[in-house]
A and B are shown apart, each in its own frame.
Chain A
Amino acid sequence: MNEIFGVPLPAMMSQLLLGLVNGSFYAMLSLGLAVIFGLLNVINFSHGALYMMGAFLAWMGIEYFHLNYWIMLVLAPLVVGLFGVIIERTMLRWLYQLDHLYGLLLTFGITLMVEGVFRSFYGVSGQPFSVPEQLSGATDLGFMLLPNYRGWVVLASLVVCLSTWFVIEKTKLGSYLRAGTENPKLVEAFGVNVPLMVTLTYGFGVALAGFAGVLAAPVIQVQPLMGQNLIIVVFAVVVIGGMGSILGSILTGLGLGVIEGLTKVFYPEFSSTVVFLVMVVVLLLRPAGLFGKEK
C-alpha cells in the first residue's frame, strides 16, 4: 500500500495535511463570520483584511520590537480585536437598522482602506517570517513526515474552534449570546447589556481572524493582499455550510480544505476553483446550505 490511485502515499498525505492546514484557516474565519452574523446581521467583508492585519502585526512585533512568536500570537489578535471594537463603535453601530447590504458595503470599504494603507507602506512583496524554533523541524510518523509547525496550526485552530463552540453552546455567557441572536430586545429587557455584547462579539470574531493570520504567517507569505482571495473562498465556505450552526462552520471549513488538498493531487488545475464548484453543487441540491436554516 504505497500508492492510492497511482499517487504515492507520502505525497498524498502531505497534500492532505496542507488541505487540513488551509481548512483550519477556513474554519476559523468562517466561524468568526458566523458568530458576527448571528448577532449583528452583518457579513464582515473586512475579515480577510483583518486576517492580513493579524499576520502583519505579528511580523511587525518580531521585526521592530523583537518580541517572539508566542507573545505575538496573543498580542496581535488582541490588537485586531481592539481595532474591531473601534470599527463597531464608530461605524457599524449606525447601520443596524438598515438593510444588511450596507454592512457588507461598509466593511468592503474598510477592507480597501486597510489593505491600501499596508500596501502603501510595504508594497505587495512578501515579508520573511520564520517558523518559531520550538516548532521547526519535522516528526517522522512512520507513514509520512509531519512538519511540526503544520501540525501545530491544525491543533491550535481545532482547540480555538472547539473552545468557541463550547463557550457559545454550553455556558451561561453563550446562552446570553444565543438568546441575543434570537431576540435582542427581549434579552435587553432582562437586563443584559446587549450593545456591549454586540461590540465584544464583533471584537472576538475579528480577533479570531487575527489569530488565524498569525498562525498563517510562517506558512503563507505575509503581504498586504494575502486576505483578498481567501475571503472570497471563505464566503463560498459560508454559503456551503450555512451560518446557522457553529459546529457546522468548523466542519465545513475543515472538510473543504481537505477536498481542496485532494484536488491538488488529482486535478491540480481545478484546485483554485473546487470550493466554488462544491458551492454550485450544494446550491443545486440543497439551496439552504449543508447546516443552514434560512433567515
Chain B
Amino acid sequence: MNKIGYGIALLIALAAPVLGGYPPFLSKLLCFALFACAFNLLIGYTGLLSFGHAAFFGMAGYAAGNALKVWGWPMELGILFGVAVAAVLGLVMGALAIRRQGIYFAMITLALAQMVYFAALRAGEWTGGEDGLQGVPRGKLLGLIDLGNDLTLYYLVLAIAIGGFALIVRIVHSPFGQVLKAIKENEPRAISLGYDVDKYKLLAFVLSASLAGLAGAVNTLVQGFETLTDVHWTMSGLVILMTLVGGMGTLAGPVLGAMLIIALENKLGDLGLFMASVTHIEWFNTLGEAVNMVTGFIFVACVLLFRRGIIGEIIARFAGNTKPA
C-alpha cells in the first residue's frame, strides 16, 4: 500500500513539469515539503514543538547564498555549508532548549530564533538587511551540468528532496527512531528504561535542524535570493501549520500540507478576486493581502476540528477509528 502510494507520488512529481507545472514553483513546493518533513521529525516523532525552525531554514539560506555568491564556491559545497551552519545552530539552540520541557521548550526555541532574526537584521553586510541577499547564482552541477535551466534544476531539487525524505523514513524506522517515539509517548518511562533521553532529543533536534537547513539552502538556490521573511517567526508558524494540516507524525502528511499551504499562499489573491466577482463583496479583493488572517483561521480550524490532519485522518479511517483525536 505504501509502496504504491510512493510510486504514484513519484510519477506525479516526475511528470508535473510536463503536465504544465511551472518548474520554479514546483521546486519551491519541494523545498517546503522537505522543510515540513524535517520539522515533523521533531513534533511528530519526538513530541518536541520547535517554534524556531525558521532560524535553520533562513540561516542555511544565507550561508549558502554567501558561499555561492560572495565566495564563489561550487554549488554542492555551498549547499553543504548551509546544512553545516544549520546543524551547528541546531546544536546550540537544541542544547539550550532541551533543558526545559513541554511548553517551555516551544517558548525557548521561539525566543532563540528571534535572537537569530535580530542578528540577521543587524548583520547587513552578510544578509543584506532589509533588502535581502540578491542575485545568488545557480552554478553547475558537478561543474558540468548548467542549472540555469529551470527544468534541470527542478529534477535536481526533486532528487535532493527524495534523498532527504528517504533519510527521514530511514531515521523514523530505525532503532533510534523507535527510542524517539518512546520519548514522545512517555518520557519518564524512557528514562527509567535507561535511555539518555537528553542525548536522543538533542540528536533529533540537530538532525531536524540540518534537514531544515538543507531545504533552506536549496530554496535559496531555486529562488536566487534570500530575505528576512525566511528567518522571521511567521515562517516558523507556517511550517507548523503545514505539518498540522497534513498530519503530524505521518510521513506523507507534511508533504501534502506544505503543498496545500504554499499553493494557498500563492493563489489566495486569485481566489479572492474570484470570490469577489461571484459574490460582489468588495472585501474579497483584498484577500491576497490577508494571508496571515487566512492561515490563522486554518490553524484554529485544524486545532479544533481535525487535529490528526488530512493524512492522519485517512489513516485513522482505514484503521476503523472514527473518534476525534
The chain A residues found within 8 Å of chain B, CB to CB, are: 37, 43, 91, 94-95, 98, 100-102, 104-106, 108-117, 119-120, 229, 232-233, 235-236, 238-239, 269, 272-273, 276-277, 279-280, 283-284, 287-288, 294-295
Contact = CB atoms under 8 A, between A and B. Distances in A.
A45 to B, nearest CB: 9
B118 A112 contact: no
B286 A120 contact: yes
A98 B114 CA distance: 28
B192 interface: no
A269 B124 CA distance: 13
How many B residues are at the interface, by size bracket?
35 or more
B296 interface: yes
A287 B122 contact: no
Majority DSSP secondary structure for residues of B touching A: helix
Nearest to B301: A109
Contacts of A287: 99-100
Contacts of B8: none
Given A235-B107, A276-B114, 12 more contacts: A37-B103, A94-B304, A100-B103, A104-B106, A105-B244, A119-B292, A232-B110, A232-B233, A236-B107, A239-B104, A273-B115, A276-B112
B299 interface: yes
Contacts, number: 115
Contacts of A238: 107
Interface in B290-312: 290, 292-300, 302-304, 307
B293 A117 contact: yes
B240 interface: yes
A284 B108 CA distance: 12
A258 B286 CA distance: 42
B289 interface: yes
Nearest to A276: B115
22 contacts: A91-B300, A91-B304, A101-B103, A102-B303, A102-B307, A104-B103, A106-B303, A109-B303, A112-B237, A113-B300, A115-B292, A116-B292, A116-B294, A120-B293, A232-B110, A236-B111, A239-B100, A239-B111, A272-B118, A279-B108, A294-B100, A295-B102
B303 A112 contact: no
B88 interface: no
A105 B103 contact: no
Nearest to B119: A273
Interface in B75-109: 96, 99-104, 106-108
B285 to A, nearest CB: 11
Contacts of A272: 118
Contact of B296 (A94, A110, A235, A284): A110
